[in-house]
Amino acid sequence: MENTEKKKKILSCIQPTGTPTLGNYLGALKNWKALEDDFDAAYAVADLHAITVRQEPQQFRKQIIEAYALLLSIGLSPEKSIVFVQSHVPTHAQLAWILNCYTQFGEMSRMTQFKDKSRSHADNINVGLFSYPVLMAADILLYQADFVPVGADQKQHLEIARDIASRFNGMYGNVFTIPEPYIPKAGARIMSLQDPAKKMSKSDENTKSFISMLDKPETIMKKMRSAVTDSEASVRFDEELKPGVSNLMNIYSCCTGLDHEQIEKDFAGKGYGDFKTAVGEAVVEELRPIRENFEMYMKDQAMLKEMMTKGADIATRISQRTLDKTMKKIGYVLK
């Protein structure tokens, strides 16, 4: 424990919009557990972000609880990290309002995700959708995060968080840590099982194209057997000429730790049927403990609520320091 001061801080959030896929897990969530040992880590269910799109209240409530249970199920330890629900910590919304007033309209207008989401939700282009990168900046800056793991689609949002922090620091002195992107060492980009040119996505209309983190073993095996390959019948890594097989090799490699060369050796002379079965079994074993943990947590809602409260208390205590410092610099009278 004595080294915690020396550890760099890292923050990651997950939206409660349905169960993440195998791609989300192998590409990001699997690394979160490893980060706990190297960093002073905070993990949040970003439920405030989720309402830029209309949610059905009962379903939304269920998804928030399930997302929190899933964070614990991948092995995150509330003893080592802060694991909390964003809406339980009022400082996020408070700092977001303040930072809105230090962010230029033009900067927000240039956000590519706003443009994309406006097209897909043309009937509900709300102010929250426009300004949610500012809430994301507040999430990061409240915990003085040194690093934020980001995918390609979030790079622009981290850039704006850095810009806002630098602008505020320029006006008031050193208030916020300027966050850096954290690029994990490992973590493959997992593609759709039915169309390897597309990223695996839970919003895909074809349910055979993705594996959910909570899929049952028989469902996983069935989806894996119907995965797209090619007519060559040789297990060889070539993303351009053999995208389907290469995708399965990436999945198998992430689950077993074997490199592509070893996988090619192991399956030399064997057909795709054998290979798909092996990949399916590896995925089943990778996800089994998560599914079992998840079922255990969901059975004990009282314990889950208790853990949520503890996480929120710690997150509030830490983030309140940053909020107070920010408000004091601006000239607010603190109670």
Domain membership of residue 200 (yes or no) is no
**If you average pLDDT over residues 186-208, what whole number do you get?**
88
Query: How does pLDDT run across 237-250, given as a tens digit for each residue?
Result: 999 999 999 999 99
Q: Tell me the pLDDT band of 187, cut-offs 50, 70 and 90.
A: low
CB of 175 within 8 A of CB of 205? no
| Sole residue written with tokens 């064997």 | 270
Provide the number of structural domains found in the chain. Answer: 2
Annotated active-site residue in 117, 223, 242, 276: 117
DSSP letters spanning 183-209: --SS---PBPSS-TTSB--TT-S-GGG
**If you average pLDDT over residues 262-276, what whole number do you get?**
94
Question: What is the pLDDT, as a whole number, of residue 130?
Answer: 86
The CA distance from 72 to 297, in Å, is 8
CB of 49 within 8 A of CB of 86? yes
Annotated active-site residue in 8, 33, 80, 202: 202
Please report, as a single letter, which amino acid is at residue 212.
Answer: S
Q: Is 76 left (phi over 0), alpha (psi -120 to 50) or beta?
A: beta
Domain membership of residue 22 (yes or no) is yes
Question: What is the pLDDT, as a whole number, of residue 183?
Answer: 78
Residue 55 shares a structural domain with residue 155: yes
Domain membership of residue 201 (yes or no) is no
Of the candidates 194, 203, 183, 184, the residue with the CA atom closest to the CA atom of residue 247: 194
Residue 163 shares a structural domain with residue 236: no
202 flagged as catalytic: yes
Q: Is 282 helix (H, G, I), strand (E, B) or coil?
A: helix
Domain membership of residue 335 (yes or no) is no
Residue 43 shares a structural domain with residue 146: yes
Query: How does pLDDT run across 83-125, given as a tens digit for each residue?
Result: 999 999 999 999 999 999 999 998 888 877 776 776 766 777 8
Question: What is the pLDDT, as a whole number, of residue 4?
Answer: 46
More confident residue, 183 or 12: 12
Residue 127 shares a structural domain with residue 250: no
Residue 42 backbone phi and psi in degrees, to 5:
-130, 135
Annotated active-site residue in 9, 30, 199, 223: 199
Residue 183 shares a structural domain with residue 115: yes
199 flagged as catalytic: yes
Residue 82 backbone phi and psi in degrees, to 5:
-95, 120
Domain membership of residue 179 (yes or no) is yes
Domain membership of residue 193 (yes or no) is no
Mean pLDDT score across all residues of the chain = 91
Of the candidates 17, 33, 16, the residue with the CA atom closest to the CA atom of residue 25: 33
Question: What is the pLDDT, as a whole number, of residue 152?
Answer: 64
Residue 322 shares a structural domain with residue 241: no
Q: Is the pLDDT of residue 326 over 50?
A: yes
Q: Tell me, what CATH number does 135's domain have?
A: 3.40.50.620
Residue 131 shares a structural domain with residue 50: yes
Domain membership of residue 199 (yes or no) is no
Q: Tell me, what CATH number does 250's domain have?
A: 1.10.240.10
| Sole residue written with tokens 């850096």 | 180
Residue 224 shares a structural domain with residue 267: yes
Percent of the chain surpassing pLDDT 90: 76
Query: How does pLDDT run across 6-58, given as a tens digit for each residue?
Result: 799 999 999 998 889 999 999 889 889 889 989 999 999 999 999 988 899 99
**If you average pLDDT over residues 304-313, what whole number do you get?**
97
- Work out the angle at residue 237's Cα, subtended by the Cα atoms of residues 231 and 243, and round it to the nearest 5 degrees: 55
Domain membership of residue 322 (yes or no) is yes
Residue 272 shares a structural domain with residue 310: no
Residue 170 shares a structural domain with residue 98: yes
**If you average pLDDT over residues 209-232, what whole number do you get?**
95
CB of 137 within 8 A of CB of 160? yes
For the chain, the straight-line distance linking the first and the last C-alpha, in angstroms and rounded, comes to 33
The CA distance from 207 to 218, in Å, is 14
Question: What is the pLDDT, as a whole number, of residue 34?
Answer: 87
Q: Is the pLDDT of residue 185 over 60?
A: yes
117 flagged as catalytic: yes
Question: What is the pLDDT, as a whole number, of residue 175?
Answer: 97
Q: Tell me the pLDDT band of 5, cut-offs 50, 70 and 90.
A: low
The domain in which residue 224 lies consists of: 207-294
- pTM equals 0.90
Residue 211 shares a structural domain with residue 241: yes
Q: Which parts of the chain fold into alpha helices (H)?
A: 22-24, 30-38, 47-50, 57-73, 91-100, 105-109, 112-120, 127-142, 155-172, 217-225, 243-256, 260-266, 272-299, 301-330
Residue 181 β-bridge partners: 148
Question: What is the pLDDT, as a whole number, of residue 247?
Answer: 96
Query: How does pLDDT run across 109-168, given as a tens digit for each residue?
Result: 887 777 677 676 677 788 888 898 999 999 999 999 999 988 766 788 899 999 999 999
Residue 311 shares a structural domain with residue 288: no
Q: Is the pLDDT of residue 2 over 70?
A: no
The CA distance from 68 to 61, in Å, is 11
